[in-house]
Structure 1
Amino acid sequence: MPNEMTADLHTHTNCSDGTDTPQQLLAKAKVAGLTTLGLTDHDTAAGWDEAALNVPAGMRILPGAEFSTKHPAPDGTLVSVHLLGYLFDRNNAEIVAEWERMSSERSNRGTRIVENLIDADYPITLDRVREIAGRTNIGRPHIARALVEAGSVDSVGEAFDGLLNDEGAHYVALQSLSLENGIRMIDAAGGVPIIAHPRARAASSLLTEEVLESLTKHGLKGIEVRHPDHDDAARTELTGIAIDLGLIQTGSSDYHGENKVLQLGQERTPDDVVEQIVALGCTAPFTKQ
């Protein structure tokens, strides 16, 4: 039925800043009653192959990624905007080159944040943060967990609100590609670009209807309307904007395992909207062989 909602299209594994392996994530998605899952680790498709081999019966996986981008505010300040891309060609030369650059950038950034905290006498070590990060580059959730472990903060959320905040003294910014180029790049690779949580954090005041309309000219296909960081007013506003601009409306948990207090499937996308995304992408969803 068109109004059923059994899809969560924004999740993370330990291939970026989540704590579940792709296989563990899919098993949890099955238990949560999901029939479609978007696998969207940050700037990587490293979890795609493991996910493709472990799709539970009756489920399908939309392979994707969350791209790190920035867009200028009216005063010229570059603001971080997260961009979801689905069902694109992961071997696209431009995407491969961007991800290689971002991997190096993220690794250096994570190390510098840890060093800044150590210099400020916080009792963490680079070796321990690397252990926590495991198979991926050091990210802020890994640093936050080290700070919790060391007793410097009580929770990962507290670390993000304070020591690891974008405006904090220890923060180091990522050098990201422009939002316009990110949208164009995903579109050119046969994918479906959708802006993640447009009313969360610094991007909230930046992504006006006028800005979103300008981005449709570069290939923007949708916006994430239902997200844990969006209150009722934001959802109502974004629904109106999406209708005005003819954009796809998605809903997602932004699940990160133990790194965030979010439940898999707590926000969902209608099944008929998933079909629209599948029809637009060049890569087929993963299903059980």
Structure 2
Amino acid sequence: MAFDMHTHSDYSDGTTSPADVVEAAARAGLPGLAITDHDTTAGWDPAEHAASHHGIALIRGMELSTVSDEGVAVHVLSYLHDPTNVTLLAELAKSRNARFKRAKRMTELLARDFPITWELVKQQTTVEATIGRPHLADALVQVGAVPNRSAAFDSILRGGSKYYVPHYAPDPVQGVELIRAAGGVPVFAHPTASVRGRVVKERLFYDMLDAGLAGLEVYHRDNNERGKQWLLEFAAEHNLLVTGSSDYHGTGKPNTLGENVTSRATVEAIEAQATSGFKVLWNGR
């Protein structure tokens, strides 16, 4: 009974609807999945309807964007939190507004060298989506500047390029605290993904642990093998949950549903830690 605990729909930077992600998971033979769009829970309702229709389990989640004091992007998966929590909602609104302004500024910078417009960038998104670099990448693909998203992130949109603009996000420790205060269960996403750029120092793991970190996403294609071993040892030493996920984005990334998975026992342990009143929708109900 293997569950994919990290997937994205077009409500953030995936390329297919929440219902289509659930349908794809059902076709892949998965007994369940988590919808974890960036900084939004807007896709929960359509995902719930699809999960009920297909008879598979749904873990309602979100991927919270945070930034360490050293400027390293840290993503924290939040499972089963209360989506109406006022404090968390306020922080999400602040982050989304910062992302919006950043995307507009990066579009202005890109327009100096590429036939990119804000209208073209918006065409890459849905109404509910949080606009980010993936949508800029899709616009670059559309004008023929790069062949795909990955190429855009490896070159034009990489951190440190002349087009890159930082944006506000909460501190990772604050992120863990916000999730716990909303009754959710926080899991550090792809913690040793050095292929994405800089990774955080060991000190931050302890700080997040003290704030209430519940688990580590160990089995993810972007974690290097040495990192996975360290993460397993850290998780065992500190009684943390270990998850595996695809980080599926539809055609936006080569990641395939179910390429890394999480056991039912771990999903049940996540559900047991949630204090929001939200439960796993087993068999979509």
Task: Quote the residue 2:225 is aligned against.
Answer: 232
Supply the distance in 2 between the matched residues of 1:203 and 1:271 (Cα, whole angstroms): 32
Residue 241 (structure 2) aligns with:
248
CA contact (8 A) 2:217 2:244 kept: yes
The letter for the 2-side match of 1:122 is F
Letter in 1 for 2:103: G
Q: For 1:128-143, what aligned pairs fall within 5 Å after superposition?
A: 128-135=120-127, 136-143=129-136
Match for 2:232: what amino acid?
T
Aligned residue number for residue 161 of structure 2: 168
Report the equivalent of 1:81. 74
Kindly indicate whether residue 21 of structure 2 is the aligned counterpart of residue 29 of structure 1: no
- Paired with 2:207 and 2:94, the residues of 1 have a C-alpha distance of 27
Contact 1:133 1:139 in 2 (8 A): no
Give the 3-state SS of the residue equivalent to 1:103 in structure 2.
Answer: helix
- Indicate the larger mover: 27-36 or 54-63: 54-63
* Corresponding residue of 1:95: 88
Could you say what the CA RMSD is over the residues aligned between the two structures, in angstroms?
Answer: 1.4
In structure 1, which of residues 49, 52, 72 is the aligned counterpart of residue 48 of structure 2? Answer: 52
- The CA deviation string for residues 121-160 of structure 1, in whole angstroms up to 9 with x for no partner, is 2122211111111222322111111111211112211100
1:8 touches 1:36 (CA, 8 Å); kept in 2? Answer: yes
Partner of 2:272: 279
Partner of 2:115: 123
- The code of the aligned residue for 2:119 comes to D
Q: Normalization by structure 1: what TM-score?
A: 0.92
Query: What secondary structure does 1:132 align onto?
Result: coil
- Is 1:212 the counterpart of 2:209? The answer is no
**Pair 1:71-2:68 in alignment:** yes
8 Å CA contact 1:26–1:54 kept in 2: the answer is yes
CA distance in 1: counterparts of 2:102 and 2:64, whole angstroms: 16
Q: What does residue 179 of structure 2 align with?
A: 186
How many residue pairs match? The answer is 278
Q: Which runs of 5+ in 2 are unaligned?
A: none
TM-score by length of 2: 0.93
Between the aligned residues of both structures, percent identity stands at 38
Q: Work out whether residues 32 and 264 of structure 1, in 8 Å CA contact, stay in contact via their aligned partners in 2.
A: yes
Rounded Cα–Cα distance in structure 2 between residues aligned with 1:99 and 1:232: 33
> SS where residue 111 of structure 2 aligns?
helix
Report the equivalent of 1:7.
3
Secondary structure of the 2:257 match is coil
CA distance in structure 1 between the aligned counterparts of 2:167 and 2:31, rounded to whole angstroms: 35
For 1:207 and 1:260, the matched residues in 2 are separated by: 27
Q: Secondary structure in 1 aligned to 2:76?
A: strand
Structure 1 CA distance, aligned partners of 2:47 and 2:280? 11
Instruction: Report if the CA contact (8 A) 1:81-1:203 is conserved.
Output: no
The letter of the residue matching 1:9 is M
Counterpart-to-counterpart distance in 1, 2:36 and 2:254 = 18
- After superposition, the Cα gap between the structure-2 partners of 1:69 and 1:7, relative to the gap in structure 1 and judged at 3 Å, is same
Which secondary structure does the structure 1 equivalent of 2:62 belong to? strand
Does the 8 Å contact 2:156/2:163 carry over to 1?
Answer: yes
